[in-house]
Amino acid sequence: MAKISSIYVNPVNKAMILSVYDKHLSQWPVSYESLNVPTRYGSTHIIASGPKDGPPIVLLHGQGGTATMWLPNILALSRDYRTYAIDTIGDLGKSELDDLDKYPKNGLAYSEWLGDVFNELGIKPAYVIGESRGGWITINLSIYSPERVKGIVLLAPVGISSLLGFIFRTLLMMGLHPTDVDKEKFFRWSISNSPVVYEVLAEYVFTYMNCRCKYAWPSKFSNEKLKQITAPTLLFVSGRDPIFNKQKDIDRAVKMISNIQLEFMADINHAMNIENADFVNNRILDFLNSN
């Protein structure tokens, strides 16, 4: 079998993702700069918005998304802060690996990659906001490079709960060769049934299933690792999230992370920053302004 030369596998997939990306950028509600910075793994793309002298916020998207998933949040967050929405290298978006076999393969490696990005952008300690897999990367950064983190916001992060149950349910639902109907059911179960979320993420997620993104397995954090998080932390949890909604896991996070605030959203699914953007935006700003 010929070795693939891109995470997109073929030009059709890449063209689809970039088309959706540019469509969302055309809807970006504030002025922005598209930046590309070199890192040890390849070029990393960033959408930078807000006042250049504002305190920095780094935004890390969920798996199978891109930096444009922050479309519903960027207006509020960029009013007083300099926001950097990053395309995670090895995932969808405009960041590009130099070598498909060389990508961040553990939490420390992601922290080193982000360190390169911070250095290139001239960012000192920043607030870091991560959704889902982006939350896992955020936690790792706060553990391995705490000097880079002023405060963290975690939206339905992976890594606090085990993913095994979610993966088993996904395999039962999708099988090895999912149909379009299977993909649709999976999206509405795992991410959201909200039309707003569907508009922002569905085309990404469905195309992502045909790609071969390169990323580390998001392993579950031990109690000892969670105890190493010293930055002020705001944790969003959803009652309908199929990945992270068990009370024992929520209790463990609250117990192990010393400086944590918990926000429980009972009737929201996984993509909470999109599904209930106004509430999430206001809660995040309250947290940032108090830290």
Note the pLDDT of residue 93. Answer: 97
Note the pLDDT of residue 3. Answer: 54
Q: Round the average pLDDT of the chain to a whole number and report it.
A: 92
Averaged pLDDT, 231-258: 91
Strands 56-60 and 126-131: parallel
Note the pLDDT of residue 1. Answer: 40
> Is 12 a residue whose pLDDT tops 80?
yes
pLDDT tens string 135-167: 999 999 999 999 999 999 999 999 998 776 766
> Is 178 a residue whose pLDDT tops 70?
yes
Q: Domain map of the chain by residue range?
A: 11-289
Could you tell me the CA-to-CA distances from 216 to 104, 233, 251, 269, 272 in Å, in that order?
A: 6, 23, 26, 24, 24
Note the pLDDT of residue 5. Answer: 67
> Is 263 a residue whose pLDDT tops 80?
yes
Note the pLDDT of residue 227. Answer: 97
What predicted TM-score, i.e. pTM, was given to this entire model?
Answer: 0.94
> Is 15 a residue whose pLDDT tops 50?
yes
Say which range, 3-7, 21-25, 148-152, 265-269, has the weakest mean pLDDT.
3-7
Note the pLDDT of residue 163. Answer: 72
Q: Which residues of 243-252 are buried (b: 16+ CB within 10 A; e: fewer)?
A: bbbeeebbeb
Cβ(266)–Cβ(184) below 8 Å: no
> Is 77 a residue whose pLDDT tops 80?
yes
Class of domain 11-289: alpha beta
**Looking at the DSSP assignment, which residues form a beta bridge with residue 131?**
155
Handedness of CA 157, 162, 164, 169 (dihedral sign): negative
pLDDT tens string 28-75: 999 999 999 999 999 999 999 999 999 999 999 999 999 999 999 999
Note the pLDDT of residue 83. Answer: 98
> Is 253 a residue whose pLDDT tops 80?
yes
Note the pLDDT of residue 168. Answer: 64
pLDDT tens string 91-112: 999 999 999 999 999 999 999 9
CA distance linking residue 83 with residue 50, whole number of Å: 6
Chain centre distance of CA 72: 14
